[in-house]
Structure 1
Amino acid sequence: MRRLLGFTLAAVFSTSLFAMHCPMDMAKIDEQLQNNPPEDAATLAQVKDLRAQGEELHNAGKHAEAVEALGQALDLLGSNP
């Protein structure tokens, strides 16, 4: 029973952490696009598409998926640690 409760609490808190992470990632992407956009047009288009997908997923409450899409965009920009 304790394990189930612990797992449930961890899932709830991790979802809220993902929710807070999305806006930070979107801000990083926006800043990078404004200050140092990729020179390759295909990469730029892909980053913009992933950024838009991430925002849509975040707004739909699918935060884990949003973080994944935004992370891919940051990887393309070379900004993901």
Structure 2
Amino acid sequence: MLMRPILAATILVLATPAFAFECPSLMAEVDSALAEASLTDAQRAEIEALRAEGEELHAAGDHDASVAKLNEAKAALGI
């Protein structure tokens, strides 16, 4: 019975570093899409701000928030 909480905690601890490696690939996806996208200046500025915020969050170690911001940028790009 005690095994389930221990197993769940172990999985969470092991999965956390995976988010750190997801951020750079998401940033690359946003950068690539930005280079090819036909956007207004306002749209481009908004997406660049989301991407920059995602990078800052990644650098600060808040990978969950970074992934959320970068996914928000991807959604704004339609990818």
Alpha-carbon deviation of 1:8? 1.5
TM-score by length of 2: 0.88
> Which deviates the most, 39-48 or 5-14?
5-14
Contact kept in structure 2, 1:38 and 1:77, CA below 8 Å = no
1:74 corresponds to which residue? 74
Segments of 5+ residues of structure 1 without an aligned counterpart are: none
Segments of 5+ residues of structure 2 without an aligned counterpart are: none
SS in 2 for 1:25: helix
Alpha-carbon deviation of 1:5? 1.5
The whole-number CA distance in structure 1 between the counterparts of 2:59 and 2:26 is 14
TM-score by length of 1: 0.86
Contact kept in structure 2, 1:55 and 1:66, CA below 8 Å = yes
RMSD over aligned Cα atoms: 1.2
Q: Deviations over 1:25-60 (max 9, x none)?
A: 0001111112x1342222111110010011011111
Question: Which protein has the larger Cα radius of gyration, Structure 1 or Structure 2?
Answer: 2
Q: Deviations over 1:5-33 (max 9, x none)?
A: 12211221221111111000000111111
2:7 corresponds to which residue? 6
